[in-house]
Structure 1
Amino acid sequence: MPSPLVPIEIRLKRLPHGEGLPTPAYATEHAAGMDVVSAEDVTIAPGGRYAVATGFAMAIPEGYEVQVRPRSGLALKHGISLPNTPGTIDADYRGELKVILINLGDAPFIIARGDRIAQLVAAPVQMARFAEVKELDDTVRGSGGFGSTGIASS
């Protein structure tokens, strides 16, 4: 696989309702995520969810995924997030990218066509397989689950 600093090519097909919108792009030189914009006007009520159209489909190279992540400013200022964050777009999906947004705030959130709604991060996929065993090796943590390592730093 190419180095993370060498961009992979993701082919993008613009759909009719996405004409005139910007292609997902990095806002700064060292940004990890590309901003993606809405292809429609929509208002999401408090507690509501909506799959926002982006106006494009894409072909992700085999061995990669595109992760859809919330924008930190929308999360902090308005309570707008993704209920399935990070969302995964698989290399074999060819339909329109829609971003599932949720309004965790206390006011309706208005999205205008062209507003930045999420970030896209291209990431390599590591395939795995499971091997059933009778026992697992011991660790210091063992089977300690949620919160078992505490809150305070040592």
Structure 2
Amino acid sequence: MNEFKLKVKRIHEDAILPNYAHYNDAGLDLYSIEEKVINPTESALIRTGIKIELPFQTEAQIRPRSGLALKNGITVLNTPGTIDEGYRGEIGIILINHGKEVFKVEKGMKIAQMVVKPVWKVDVEEVEELSEALRGDKGFGSTGV
């Protein structure tokens, strides 16, 4: 039995509790409570009808579903979206249609996945210099294209 509990409150009668499709999955599936059309290049906020209370010192990351991305060009706009431990509002998922066809979100459709992860709090310290590293300041594209 897991020592971490995700408390979930349904705020809509059609809400489906987050669940793992398979025992070893990292992400809990999240479901739409509404039907909505998303045109190509457009985004929409999709309601889930749930509120959550995360375990102490965790966050929830909202990530796309690979099947929706591959088959329809549908992804989570601000991926990974972060739900902070103290947030108690309804979970909404911002989907964007990168596909060429109109996409219809159906009521009860799996629209995203939620991964609960630990959060480390750090002390911020201003310094004059940083330690040397092999990569150094080489940024975007530094390992090849």
TM-score by length of 1: 0.89
State the Cα distance separating 1:62 from its structure 2 match: 2.2
Question: Matched residue of 1:98: which SS?
Answer: strand
Question: Matched residue of 1:146: which SS?
Answer: coil
Aligned partners of 2:33, 2:57: CA distance in 1, in Å? 28
2:131 match: 137
State the Cα distance separating 1:122 from its structure 2 match: 0.8
Aligned partners of 1:12, 1:21: CA distance in 2, in Å? 11
State the Cα distance separating 1:78 from its structure 2 match: 0.7
Instruction: Give matches, 1:2-151, under 5 Å.
Output: 6=2, 8-16=4-12, 19-151=13-145
Question: Matched residue of 1:75: which SS?
Answer: helix
Aligned partners of 1:7, 1:70: CA distance in 2, in Å? 27
TM-score by length of 2: 0.94
State the Cα distance separating 1:37 from its structure 2 match: 0.6
Q: Aligned residues: percent identity?
A: 45
Letter in 1 for 2:11: L
Letter in 2 for 1:35: D
Letter in 1 for 2:125: A
State the Cα distance separating 1:27 from its structure 2 match: 0.4
Aligned length: 145
State the Cα distance separating 1:61 from its structure 2 match: 2.0
Q: Which runs of 4+ in 1 moved over 4 A?
A: none
Aligned partners of 2:102, 2:11: CA distance in 1, in Å? 28
State the Cα distance separating 1:7 from its structure 2 match: 5.0
Aligned partners of 1:20, 1:83: CA distance in 2, in Å? 24
Unaligned 5+ segments in structure 1 are none
| Segment drifting more, 128-137 vs 30-39 | 128-137
Contact 2:15 2:50 in 1 (8 A): no
Unaligned 5+ segments in structure 2 are none
Question: Matched residue of 1:73: which SS?
Answer: helix
